[in-house]
Chain A
Amino acid sequence: TQLLEQSPQFLSIQEGENLTVYCNSSSVFSSLQWYRQEPGEGPVLLVTVVTGGEVKKLKRLTFQFGDARKDSSLHITAAQTGDTGLYLCAGRNAGNTPLVFGKGTRLSVIA
C-alpha cells in the first residue's frame, strides 16, 4: 500500500506570512496532485505534477515535485485568510491504480 505522509498536520499562521507544507512517500508516483478542501465541501483540484523536478505556480502558490517523484511541496507566499482549508496531496502509481490521498495539512490563516 502506498502511503503519503503530509506534514505538518496543523498549521496556524498570521496573514502575510509564508509557509511550506510537505508530502512524502517511499513510493514512486507517476503523478501527484494537490487539492484544497473547505468545510462541508469536496476537495478541489489545485494542480497536477507529472515530471520529476517540475515546478508549477498558481498565483501565490508554488508546487514542486521531487526529482525522484516520491515527494512534493506546496509553498504559499503572503498567506491570506482565504487560503484557510485542508490541503491534501494525492498520488497514483503507473497503470490503472487508484488515487491515494495523504491525511492532509489543516491550515488556518488568521487576520
Chain B
Amino acid sequence: KAGVTQTPRYLIKTRGQQVTLSCSPISGHRSVSWYQQTPGQGLQFLFEYFSETQRNKGNFPGRFSGRQFSNSRSEMNVSTLELGDSALYLCASSPWGNLDYGYTFGSGTRLTVV
C-alpha cells in the first residue's frame, strides 16, 4: 500500500513569492490534514479536509489556504511568502469515521524562504 506522498520534497523561494504544495493520501483515506513544523513551535495545525470540505482551520493568517480534490488529493498554498514561513510542511491522511485512528504522515516538504 503506497504511503502519503508529498511533492516537492525541497523548495527554495524568495520573499513575496507564492508556493503550492501537494499531498496524495493513502488510497481510500478521505481525510487530509496539514501541519507546519518549526524547531521553536513544533507541529502547528493548519487545515483538515474531508471529502473536499474544510473541517477545521488552525490559527494562521489568510495567506495560507488549501483545498482538497474529489480524488482526496490536497494542495496548500502560501502567498506573499515571509522569512518566517520557512518550515517543514507535513501532510497526514487518515480514514474518517473513527476519530481515534492515527495519522499516516508524508515525509514533508522543506520550504526555505530567502
Contacts and interface: CB of A to CB of B under 8 A. Distances in A.
Interface string B27-49: 00000010100000111010010
Contacts of A33: 102-103
Nearest to A93: B99
Given A103-B41, A103-B42, A96 B99 contact: yes
Contacts of B4: 42
Nearest to B47: A98
Contacts of B99: 30-31, 92, 94-96
B92 A42 contact: yes
Which applies to chain A's interface (DSSP): helix, strand, loop or mixed?
A: loop
Chain A interface size range: 20 to 34
A95 B100 CA distance: 10
Interface in A79-111: 88, 90, 92, 94-104
Contact of B102 (A42, A48, A102): A48
Given A42-B92, A98-B58, A48 B101 contact: yes
Interface centre among B42, B43, B58, B108 (most CB of A within 10 A): B43
Interface of B: 4, 33, 35, 41-43, 45, 48, 55-56, 58-59, 90, 92, 99-108
13 contacts: A33-B102, A35-B105, A40-B107, A42-B105, A43-B103, A43-B105, A45-B102, A45-B103, A94-B99, A98-B56, A98-B58, A99-B103, A101-B42
